[in-house]
Amino acid sequence: MPEKYLKDISIIIATCNRSSSLRNVLTDLAGLKDCESITYEIIVVDNNSKDQTREVVEEFQKKMPGKIVYMFEPRQGRSIALNLGIEQAKGKILAFTDDDVKVDPHWIKNVKEGFEKYSCDMIGGRILPYYYPDTPQWLKDNSHQLFGPIVQCDYGSEDKPYDCVKMREFVGANIAFKKSVLDECGGFRVDIGAGQGLNGEDTEMFQRLYQRKKQLYYCGSVLIWHPVEKNRANLRYLAGWFMRTGRFRVRIGTFDNEPLVHWGGVPRYLFRAIPVEMVQMLLNFYDRGKFLKFFSRFFIMIGGAKEYRLLYKKSENS
């Protein structure tokens, strides 16, 4: 193993004010199985938390001597925190998860075996949503319409190469890369993602690797469960999420095909398309599936229009 790779795997978790759920994640990681032959570290990047995050990490540092690294990143932003973890990581493989998930006991073993078996550059793992008992049934029944607000990535228990026709981009709550690939491609973009008012730092990274023709694999055995938080079970939260997605798509240039005509920086066609989507949304209010389809498109367009306008005003003032 090259000198710069002192570990097989670095697990990187960015966290902010979630000490309670972080404790649960670290408990799961302390109970990983069949990984005695794997050298790994757990890097927790505290993104300016005001709660007991540091104390929780220090508690587990005592339980797992030499395994857990604590870092503090005062600059707000998930991408900024993750990049700090990447910079300091000693692992040949970098595995990322969230601070509020349930981790399968064989997670790390299966990550390592996936890279060895397929000689790939990136692995996307299986993410199953976990619903609390009082979750509204309409949210469960329409989870396919809510990919994103409901964190999920489920293409079965088998392994398979990424298929751009049948699969979406892999999700940041359960992804792993060769560190050499991130060193080559750069870290996460710091102008997008949580903390910047936009979604998608993981999506943009995935698209960057795909465009560079890196070897991407889905591994169904690399498994976590992600809770569907109660505050996501309402239309106000969903509207905000889709608006952030619209802004993200404009920011990275995937919202549309660069329309030629703009009014005040906003593509002219949106002034027609947004009212159409709103009418369709209202007409299908009592059909949850159809309603959510138009609902998501409506607020993605609203977010896109907002970002176009912000960028236009910024360019005028520069």
Task: In whole angstroms, give the CA distance from residue 70 to residue 50.
Answer: 15
Same-domain status, 120 and 12: yes
Same domain membership, residue 261 and residue 171: no
Q: At 2, is the secondary structure helix, strand, or coil? A: coil
Domain-embedded: residue 2 = no
- 313/185 same-domain check: no
The pLDDT score that the predictor gives to residue 3 is 57
Residue (of 299, 303, 294) closest to 145 by Cα position: 294
Assess whether 114 and 166 both reside in one domain.
yes
pLDDT for position 67: 96
Is the same domain home to 141 and 161?
yes
Computed over every residue of the chain, the mean pLDDT equals 94
Are 116 and 38 spatial neighbours (Cβ–Cβ below 8 Å)?
A: no
| Upper half-sphere CA count for residue 256 (Cβ side, 13 Å) | 19
- pLDDT tens for 237-254 read 999 999 999 999 999 999
C-alpha to C-alpha distance for 78 and 55, rounded to whole angstroms: 21
The answer to whether residues 213 and 281 belong to one domain is no
> Do 221 and 94 lie in a common domain?
yes
Domain with 91 in it: what CATH number?
3.90.550.10
Tell me what pLDDT residue 188 has. 95
Q: Of the residues 189, 207, 232, which one is the last residue of a structural domain?
A: 232
Digit-coded pLDDT (tens) for 82-102: 999 999 999 999 999 999 999
Per-residue confidence (pLDDT) for residue 4, from 0 to 100: 67
Q: With 50 as the cut, is the pLDDT of residue 1 above it?
A: no
Residues 165 and 246 in one domain: no
Give the DSSP letter of residue 92.
E
Using a 10 angstrom Cβ sphere, with 0-12 exposed, 13-18 middle and 19 or more buried, the burial of residue 309 is middle
Q: Tell whether 98 is covered by a domain.
A: yes
Is the model's pLDDT at 317 over the cut of 90? no
Boundaries of domain holding 289: 235-317
Are residues 242 and 172 both part of a single domain? no
